[in-house]
Chain A
Amino acid sequence: DQQVKQNSPSLSVQEGRISILNCDYTNSMFDYFLWYKKYPAEGPTFLISISSIKDKNEDGRFTVFLNKSAKHLSLHIVPSQPGDSAVYFCAATLSGSARQLTFGSGTQLTVLP
């Protein structure tokens, strides 16, 4: 049973445009959500996170939105750059187990020059 789902395996966006990556979850006990980025032959790297008590967190070109009632979060990248091309994983943690992440299956983002 997948508790964190990323239903779009891939997304292509033109350079300079907005990229929107989506993630749904089923476990209402998740209290922290994160996005990781992974390049080929590298480990995932932390991108941005949001606590369940917030609905938005922004860091430069990256913004994460959380809709708890819909159990949905999204990552917005504006403007998109070719270097953003990577696999993006959504992840969640349960209260008290902050280092144990439940990941989605990932979305391959391709930013076209």
Chain B
Amino acid sequence: QSVLTQPPSVSGAPGQRVTISCTGSSSNLGAGYDVHWYQQLPGTAPKLLIYGNNNRPSGVPDRFSGSKSGTSASLAITGLQAEDEADYFCQSHDSRLSGSVFGTGTKVIVL
């Protein structure tokens, strides 16, 4: 089963910068497909945070930014706030699945 690999958790104090990595393979990120990022607050549906590698939907603070290079991508959160404590998932298209593949998920903990 194709999957994108993320660290289980990252943590930081308020105001700090944290980054979340997302590692794929030649059938998804390495094939040139875009990466997208979602934020999931407890008990709620995922919310699109970054699309097309580094674009923010309307209403998403510019504290969130994304990048992609080869088979890897990352999400950065600067000026960490208590409300950023949530699960974050990366996602892309996979040619082997002919469909979507999600990351394993990362819990951001605000100390």
Q: Do A and B bind each other?
A: no
Binding site for A on B (CB under 8 A): none
Chain A residues in contact with chain B, CB under 8 A? Answer: none
